[in-house]
């Protein structure tokens, strides 16, 4: 299989225990379709909480190294990170460094979900303690009680 960017033969490489194809020239990576999920699992393995992966799909400027059809580019998880993938589900092309950005985005997603869960829990406790009354009503009570 050849690199979709430089047409150089791809080498096998291990990335976080996943056997992927690597371009020795441009340093890009080819991940088979299921390998993207395995990569993300290093930061977050709860598939239901990962959210939608593909936003703003458009035609790519490279072709799939497996089927040679023009690939599709999308913004990864609504971030400004364009990722190329084969419409026939052969895999994903990651330009140099994009695998690190994916892991950073997933790590941030975990932190955001934890923060959101903590806020929801605090809000529920607040309401249980009588927080249902408005702040203005409580201030009014200070002057009338």
Per residue in 97-116, pLDDT (tens digit) is: 999 998 898 888 777 666 66
For the segment 19-63, what is each residue's pLDDT rounded down to a tens digit? 999 999 999 999 999 999 898 887 666 555 556 678 899 999 999
The Cα–Cα gap between 31 and 45 comes to 17
pTM: 0.74
| 74 φψ region: left (φ > 0), alpha (ψ -120 to 50), beta (else) | beta
Question: Domain segments of the chain: what residues?
Answer: 11-144
Q: What is the pLDDT of residue 120?
A: 60
Question: Is-contact 102 109, C-beta < 8 A?
Answer: no
Secondary structure element (H or E) that encloses residue 31, with its range:
strand 29-32
């Amino acid at each position: 299989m050849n690199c979709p960017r430089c047409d150089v033969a791809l080498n096998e490489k291990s990335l976080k225990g996943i056997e992927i194809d690597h371009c020795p020239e441009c340093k890009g990576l080819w991940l088979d379709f299921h390998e993207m999920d395995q990569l993300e699992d290093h930061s977050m393995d709860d598939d239901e909480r990962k959210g939608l992966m593909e936003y703003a799909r458009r035609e790519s400027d490279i072709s799939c190294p497996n089927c040679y059809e023009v690939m599709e580019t999308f913004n990864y998880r609504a971030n400004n990170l364009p990722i190329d993938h084969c419409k026939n589900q052969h895999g994903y092309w990651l330009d140099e460094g994009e695998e690190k950005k994916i892991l950073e985005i997933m790590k941030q997603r975990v932190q955001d979900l934890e923060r959101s869960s903590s806020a929801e829990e605090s809000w529920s406790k607040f309401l249980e303690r009588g927080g249902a009354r408005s702040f203005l009503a409580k201030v009014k009570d200070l002057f009338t009680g």
